[in-house]
Structures are given as C-alpha cells and as structure tokens.
Chain A
Amino acid sequence: MIDRNDPYFWADLLDTILKGAGETFYTVGVSLLLTVLFGLAAGVLLVTTEAHGLLARPLGSRALGVAVNRVLDVVVNIGRSIPFIILMILLIPFTRLLVGSFIGPTAAIVPLAIAGIPFFARLVEIGIREVPKGLVEAAQSLGATRWTILTKVLVAEAVPALALGLSTTVVGLIGYSAMVGAVGGGGLGDVAFRYGYQRYSPEYMFAVVILLILLVQLFQSLGNFAARRLSHR
C-alpha cells in the first residue's frame, strides 16, 4: 500500500507515470514502425497476388503468386486468431532469441509487432481493394510499370483508408502494450498493474486509465483528421 499522505506522493506518481508513458511510446512506436513496414507489404501482396491481380504472376510464375497468397492468408489468419495474451506467452522463446530477454520495453516490441502486422495487413488489404480496378487499367494503358502502379495508383489512392487503418492499429497497439506491461514489458500497463493493482492505489490506476483514454482519443482524432484531409473523393 502506498502512503497517500507522503509529501512526495504526487511527485512520485507523476514521475512513475511519465516514465511509464515514455516506455509505452517507445514500445508502441517501434512496433508500429515494424507493423507499418511489414503490414503494408503483406496487405498489398494479399490483394495483388490474387488471380488477375497486379502481381498474379511474380517472376512470371502464377504458381508462385498462388503460393505467396495462400501462405500470407494463412499466416495472417493465424496471427489474428490467437488471443494476444497467449501469443505473448507463446512468443517468449522467440523474443528471448531475438532480444536476449523477454522482460522490458524492448522485449515487448516483439509480440506487439507480431500481433500488429497481421491486423494492419487486413486493414491495408481492405483499403487497397477499394481502389477501382479501372485506375489500374488506366495506368497500364499509359504504359506504367507494375511498381509505378503499385506506388502511384494502388497505395496512393488507398492513403485515406490507410490513415484510418493506421490510427485503429495504434489504438490496438496501445491496448496490447498495457497487456505486455502487466507481465514485465514496462510502460503504462506495468504502472497500472504494480502500483494500481498490487499496491492498491486507485490514484495510480485512474491516472493510467485517464492517460490511456486521452492517448486513444488523440490518435483516433489524428487518424480521422488525416483521412479527411487526404481524401478528395
């Protein structure tokens, strides 16, 4: 139990929360970066390697296109179907191998990114699918390369949808990061768990909850704003 009457109580609370928030930003930030990188690639491949897709025949082989599509689809589904708390535990040996430890903010990045990638990949897939096929055809008629079509048509036209998907992903990652925190990943989840729950301090608990609510609001609004600004439909 933390002594609420301690003259340093609020100063300590602020320190702890700020440190936790810093760790959360770090974990979520890095895992978001990885999520966007791999999730975007996976999402784009999921759509384009389908029959009649832009990359239906990578390196001239339809069999390769089918294989990439099937494998990605299954992997993404597996990633999406394992509850995060179990995924986190399952990944401990892998995390250890990669980072050397499974405790701390850096170790937390691994399960976060692995949960985030398939999630974002599906959102990217939806966004890219919304791009009218006629646009691809128009670019082809102009003699565009597949890379140009990919970047300047498919991804560029999906940008508003991607911005919304990104904010949804950030919100999800913040939620997951609190879960990792509770089992040794640091960050705001760690603060809420150790101070708020184990040491019975409602002040710590509420402070974390309020901060999380503010963060989620902020990122969702940013995403909505960006999507609105970027969309000219």
Chain B
Amino acid sequence: MISVSRVVKSYGSGAAQVRALDDVTMSVKKGEVFGVVGQSGAGKSTLIRTINALEQPDSGTVHVGGRDMTKLAGRELRQARHDIGMIFQHFNLLSGRTVRANVELSLEITGAGRAQRRTRALEILELVDLRGKADAYPAQLSGGQKQRVGIARALASNPSVLLSDEATSALDPDTTRQILDLIRQLSKDLGLTVLLITHEMDVVKRICDSAAVMSQGRILEHGSVEKLLTTEKSLLGQALFPLGDIPPTSNAVVEITFTGMATDRPVIAQLARQHGIDVGILGAAVETIHGRQTGRTRLELPGDERTVSGAVADLRSQGLYVEVIK
C-alpha cells in the first residue's frame, strides 16, 4: 500500500546540513498497522510527511496505492491526499468551528453537498463515539475527545490510509490506550492501512503489526513485530524487554523469547529436570502484545559445553526462540 524507496531528505546546507532521511526504504502492507519508533530528531516526522507530500524528498520515491507522491502536483496531489487521512499530536482543529463543522471541513474540501456533509459528519462522529458533542467547540473538549474529532475529520472522506503523527503523545496513559484501541478497531472495520510514528514503545506494543526502528535518519530494523522480537540483537526486542546488564559469570547465558502459547509451558522446570541443570533466572520481562503474552527471559545455565548446547537445542526444538548471549 505504501512503499518508500531510497528516500533522502536534507535540511540546511554546507557544514550545518542535516540528513533527516538517509536512504530510507520501507513498505507497509495493505490493512496493517505499522509503527515507526525512534527518538525525537530521528527523522520519523519527516518520513511520515513525505507520505502525503507535505514534505518533498531530495531523491527517492514514495508510492501510496500505486501513485508516486513525489511526482504529483496541483489537483492530482490534492486528490491523492483525499485518500490519505492524517492526525496530529496537537490535534490541529479549527477553534472557530464546532466539532461537526471541523469534520465537515474535510467534506467541503472534497466537494460534498451540504446535506451529504451533514449526514456523513454525524455518521463518522458516531463511529468515534462523539455524536453527543457535535455542536461543542474544540476548546470545550478533553484531549482524548479532540483527538477523536481529529480522527473523524481524517476519515470523513473515506481514505484508505491513515497517517498518525505522534497522535497520542500529548495524551495521558489511559486516554492513549483508548485512542490506540480506537485506531486499531477502525483499521480493522474499515480496512485502513495505518502508518504511525511515535517515540513510545507502548504504542508499538499495543497496536502495531509491523514496526521500524529509526535513528539519525536511517531505518535500523523493519519487519513484523513478532519477527523483530525473535531477531538476534533486535533493538525493538531489547527496548520492549529491558533485561539490564549481564552480571559477571563464568556460566553460559541465554535469552529465551516466548510468544503466544509457549508462556503456558513450564519450560524452566523441564530444563532442570531433563538436563539436570540448576537454571538461574537473571531477568525476565513479559508484555501483552496484540493480546498475546510475549516475554523474554534471561537464564544462566551452569554445566559443561555439551550439556548447555543440548539444552539449547532442546529449547529450540520446542519452537522457542533462543539467543546464546555468552
């Protein structure tokens, strides 16, 4: 649905030049929720803004639904944008318009008639559970409600892509969860492809099917969340399951990543029984990702090389992802 290829974008010139995007290539499949995580200044914001051509790259191509956004201008570009909704960290609602009129703006732009605008605005407000606030002004709403209006406005013209620029970063944790769940729900119900950028790992954990980790204008990792978690030395995995530093020990240290069903099995007890190893637990972290228990455990395995490699092979044969740290 979205495919970004070899995109470069620099700001400034000479010695002060900053590469906001340094040869970025990535793609988002139709219907998935894709998260780009990174510190502020990593280039995420520039990246998402090239998707709807708010920002033009210096080189490279950005395809959305088959159209090369970097080649469009004028009417063609505006029409392409009708198919790409966007929500923002600071909501960006018009203070002088009511909730309904804010949503209608989107339909005024696409040229819908008055009656149609009104019906559609109320319909979409119903979808984000804000119909009761149709005649309120943004200043009278809470942050979460404002973002719902933002979502309604972005989706009013029936786009197939939703871009989210740190949409939950100004919200408290509870509201963040509600908004994320709403986005997830809408993406399922409407078949939306969602590209979001965030600096919060929680967002990726909660709603993303796939993710990319960005730093200094480059994409460091890129793939489905589950796959990234079971990739050796994955930054996303380490960020999601921080296990701390490895204590000094002469024994072997391994990290096991559990996804889904594996968490229900008594893996460690089995290891101790069948291989006669006095397993030591050095650290563990468990998170719910897409409603599935996922975790990483760091174990210390005393014993000779043969015992340890036998144990590791056994764990792997059970479908567990095992990484030998030392």
Contact = CB atoms under 8 A, between A and B. Distances in A.
A135 B93 CA distance: 7
Question: For chain A, which range describes its interface: under 10, 10 to 19, 20 to 34, or 35 or more residues?
Answer: 20 to 34
In the A-B complex, the 7 residue pairs with the smallest Cβ-Cβ separation, listed nearest first, are A143-B81, A138-B92, A232-B137, A143-B78, A141-B86, A134-B92, A143-B82
A135 B153 contact: no
Nearest to A152: B105
Contacts of B82: 142-143
B78 A141 contact: no
Contact of A142 (B90, B93, B95, B153): B153
B88 A134 contact: yes
Interface stretch (B35-43, B106-114, B284-292): B106-114
Interface residues of chain A: helix, strand, loop or mixed (majority)? helix
Contacts of A134: 88, 90, 92
B18 interface: no
B160 interface: no
Contacts of B109: 139, 142-145, 148
Contact of B92 (A132, A144, A231): A132
B84 interface: yes
Interface residues of B, number: 31
A139 B85 CA distance: 11
Contacts of A160: 96
Contacts of A153: 94
Contacts of B88: 134, 137-138
Nearest to B52: A141
B293 to A, nearest CB: 37
Given A138-B86, A141-B52, A233 B95 contact: yes
Nearest to A134: B92
A137 B54 contact: yes
A52 to B, nearest CB: 11
Contact of B105 (A132, A142, A159): A142
A138 B106 CA distance: 10
A81 interface: no
B138 interface: yes
30 contacts: A132-B92, A134-B88, A135-B92, A137-B88, A137-B92, A138-B88, A138-B92, A138-B93, A139-B105, A139-B109, A140-B54, A141-B52, A141-B81, A142-B82, A142-B106, A142-B153, A142-B154, A143-B81, A143-B82, A143-B110, A145-B109, A153-B94, A157-B95, A157-B96, A159-B96, A231-B96, A232-B96, A232-B138, A233-B95, A233-B139
Contact of A232 (B52, B95, B108, B153): B95
Contacts of A138: 86, 88, 92-93, 153
Nearest to B82: A143
